[in-house]
Amino acid sequence: MNKRSTLFLLLTCLYLTASSQSFIGYGYDNYSGVNGLILNPGTLADGKYKVNVNLFAISGLAGNNAYELERSKLFSFKFNHLSDSNGYYKANNTAVKYLYLNTDILGPSATINLTSKDALGLITRMRVLGNVSNLGNSLFHLLGDADANYYNLDIINPSLQTKVHAFAEAGVSYGRVLMKNSRSELKIGVTGKYIAGLGYGSVYSGPLLMNIDPAHQIAKLNGDVTAQYSSNFDNLGAGSNVSDYLKHMPGHGLGLDLGFVYETKNPQTGETKLRLGMSVTDIGQVTYKNSPNSQQYTITADGRNTAEFQKQNGETYDDYFNRLKTSGLVVAKSAAANSTVKLPTALHVNGDYEVYKRLYINADVLLNMVATNSPTNPNYVTTFTVTPRLEKKWVSIYSPVSYSANGQLNWGAGFRFGPLFVGSGSVLSSLIKQRITSADAHMGLTIPIFQQNKKKTPTLADTVYRDKNLTHDRDGDGVVDEKDECPDSAGPIALIGCPDSDGDGVPNKKDKCPGVKGSPNFRGCPAPDTDGDSVNDDDDKCPLVKGVASNFGCPPIKPEYISTVNHAADRVFFVRAKATIEKISLNELNRVVAILQTDTTLRLRIEGYTDSEGTDERNQKLSDRRARAVFHYLHLQGIDADRMDYIGYGSKRPIASNDTPEGMAQNRRTEMILMNYPKDKHKQ
């Protein structure tokens, strides 16, 4: 039997979706119109179009770190008869798995510039988004064609989360130019949205313990799982279709987008030279009526068969959950009648610069603003994108390179030709890979009605003024004469227009060794080696004491001291989930005290680390507190606080995999580092 039917929560994992950036590379084109509005309503006013009508646009995105698809299957669209190891494969990694798929449909929408300062927009849109996270590698290998190595094995999977949200929206936008002159302008915009919730689903768990044999008999299966979903899902599976499902929209809410844009203009062409924008999108939430089956379930299925968790043909979700409860596979607890699901709030920071005659470079950061550990609120994936773009009135060609917080790097391409745009944020990177873990595409059709050409014909007064400005930099180095410290000798802007013949950052007029590249710290002359230890004073942290290069020019530290401190650090233990030092560790710390008292030139750096269990915020605070606890103990034993410093790194620097209890134990650690150079010389 296919292990994909092992548990109802695993069934859910496979088809739930997650979301990342849509219309990658296209949304910040100066001619993107409505598609730019959904990213930043500040772009609405004083745009390129008098009217822009979006007839239809769609963006699809999928990716994961669990499965790899053969490139030939993707580009030939041959998705029939795919199976594990036949067209797609389980990825060769041991990381915690995530999966995502995003569909973003922009329906009939429009923008209109009412005046030179005011504009309106109308938007209709539908999205499906969600997240699957914390699917442990061992549990993953029981899905699909199970790996025999994971039978008869106790598998613990902490904090599995799956969440999905589908909603439609209708919005009205207003944009306004706040300030404008011949060289720059500042614009703001706001979009108010009515949200029609189409449905949501969420399955999340505490620690799950599972042990299954090759005959699919369950030796161990227990844990608490909470399933929540909107009431219109109950009848799915009994012959109902999508139209039946859409007739009963169980959720309603309001949303808001806010944004501003600052632009500078090219004085010769009147086109945008630099555009800086910031926006916050999808502020709001949707309230849903829950299904009666939205409850916490305790699973105790020892001795049962995985087939009992399989949803039967023709069985509705309401029937399915009732069967699980009546058969004793799960015990349900009461839950809330309603749930509030937040929209995927995101902060967008964007910069767009004209490098040369219609050739632009765009840099964009999408920052997720929703807590990733929320059990019911899907979120966007934080993504960084750089897009070079060739742009003209009727044609644009763009090639985005993006990197997401889950570690995926993609390279794509797209074009706009009149009313049509087509592109992908990953097509080029997919072409050079044999197996693909992510893919996306977008396309749309618009009606563009351009603004009239407002370019002003230069007057004689304008020409004379420009010519006058040009005479203010007689050496032509880009620094006006009023500020140029060497107005008759061209030099770099960083040196306020003064030349630097030897390129050491010290202008010739201040350089005591003008023919030799030296150090700014020594007035342009080479840095000396005062203590004669072959480490120059610029790099020497002990410039007056002879030392060794391996210790930044300071005297070497006795190897036995380093060994004792490292040994002690490995034996500092804390009470679980607290910053209280276990008594068995105090003798080791006392040995560190003895070393610091013996050699008063030594200093100590204390670093705290945790495993990945829990939130990043909790782990950071715990590691700080633990490092501080060691610091305070040593201080109480007589070590001057000025000789020590401490820092916590949370789970950011693991030395072993967090997928196993042994690896997590190694990552819960304290490190202590001996130093003998002054504190102000220490580079953190």
- Calculate the CA 456 to chain-centre distance: 44
3-state secondary structure of 440: strand
Angle (CA) 359-365-366 rounded to 5° is 130
In a domain, 244, yes or no: yes
In a domain, 466, yes or no: yes
**202 plus 327 within the same structural domain:** yes
**439 plus 519 within the same structural domain:** no
The confidence score (pLDDT) of residue 38 equals 94
- Calculate the CA 361 to chain-centre distance: 21
Taking each helix axis from N to C end, the angle separating 586-598 and 616-636, rounded to the nearest 10 degrees, works out to: 60
Number of domains in the chain: 3
**57 plus 146 within the same structural domain:** yes
Cα 216 to Cα 2, 141, 148, 153, 565, distances in angstroms: 10, 14, 12, 13, 51
In a domain, 586, yes or no: yes
**585 plus 468 within the same structural domain:** no
In a domain, 433, yes or no: yes
**587 plus 638 within the same structural domain:** yes
- Domain end marker among 385, 418, 450: 450
The rounded distance, in Å, linking the Cα atoms of 537 and 546 is: 11
Enumerate residues 6+ apart whose C-beta is below 8 A from 11. Answer: 4, 5, 311
> Which is nearest to 637 in space by CA: 562, 569, 678, 587?
587
> Which is nearest to 96 in space by CA: 494, 372, 414, 285?
372
Q: Which two tokens stand for residue 342?
A: 């937040």
In a domain, 537, yes or no: no
**500 plus 405 within the same structural domain:** no
The confidence score (pLDDT) of residue 255 equals 97
Average pLDDT, consecutive stretches of 10 residues, N- to C-terminus, the chain (684 residues): 37 37 86 93 94 94 85 73 75 86 92 94 93 88 79 89 93 95 91 94 89 88 89 71 65 96 80 93 94 88 86 82 88 85 95 92 94 86 94 94 88 95 92 87 94 52 40 78 84 86 84 84 84 83 85 88 91 84 91 92 91 87 92 93 91 86 82 82 42
The rounded distance, in Å, linking the Cα atoms of 645 and 627 is: 9
Cα 557 to Cα 53, 533, 594, 674, 677, distances in angstroms: 72, 16, 15, 8, 11
- Domain end marker among 389, 424, 450: 450
Helix, strand, coil percentages in the chain from 3-state DSSP, rounded to 5: 20, 40, 40
β-strand partners of 680 = none
Instruction: Identify the residue whose tokens are 């189409």.
Output: 198
**263 plus 115 within the same structural domain:** yes
Cα 516 to Cα 383, 560, 573, distances in angstroms: 46, 44, 55
In a domain, 585, yes or no: yes
Taking each helix axis from N to C end, the angle separating 586-598 and 559-569, rounded to the nearest 10 degrees, works out to: 150
CATH number for 663: 3.30.1330.60
The confidence score (pLDDT) of residue 185 equals 93
In a domain, 541, yes or no: no
Instruction: Identify the residue whose tokens are 């299957």.
Output: 73
**444 plus 464 within the same structural domain:** no
- Domain end marker among 450, 485, 512: 450
The confidence score (pLDDT) of residue 611 equals 86
DSSP string, 238-260: TT--HHHHHTS--EEEEEEEEEE
> Which is nearest to 147 in space by CA: 94, 99, 101?
94
The rounded distance, in Å, linking the Cα atoms of 477 and 561 is: 57
Residue 90 has φ and ψ, to the nearest 5°, of -70, 135
The rounded distance, in Å, linking the Cα atoms of 601 and 643 is: 9
3-state secondary structure of 662: helix
Range of the domain at 130: 3-220+227-450
pTM value is: 0.62
3-state secondary structure of 150: helix
The CB density around residue 497, as the number of other CB atoms within 10 Å, is 24
> Tell me, what amino acid is at 142?
L
**348 plus 430 within the same structural domain:** yes
**287 plus 433 within the same structural domain:** yes
CATH number for 152: 2.40.160
**192 plus 272 within the same structural domain:** yes
The confidence score (pLDDT) of residue 645 equals 92
Q: Where are the beta strands (DSSP E) in 531-643?
A: 603-608
- Strand 603-608 vs strand 644-648: parallel, antiparallel, or unpaired? parallel
The rounded distance, in Å, linking the Cα atoms of 279 and 41 is: 8
The rounded distance, in Å, linking the Cα atoms of 617 and 70 is: 38
Residues 108 and 124 sit within 8 Å (Cβ to Cβ): yes
Residues 444 and 56 sit within 8 Å (Cβ to Cβ): yes
In a domain, 534, yes or no: no
Residues 159 and 204 sit within 8 Å (Cβ to Cβ): yes
The rounded distance, in Å, linking the Cα atoms of 74 and 87 is: 10
β-strand partners of 212 = 218
The rounded distance, in Å, linking the Cα atoms of 125 and 167 is: 9
- Strand 83-84 vs strand 97-106: parallel, antiparallel, or unpaired? unpaired
Residues 230 and 197 sit within 8 Å (Cβ to Cβ): yes
The rounded distance, in Å, linking the Cα atoms of 638 and 188 is: 59
The rounded distance, in Å, linking the Cα atoms of 669 and 590 is: 18
**512 plus 568 within the same structural domain:** no
The confidence score (pLDDT) of residue 29 equals 92
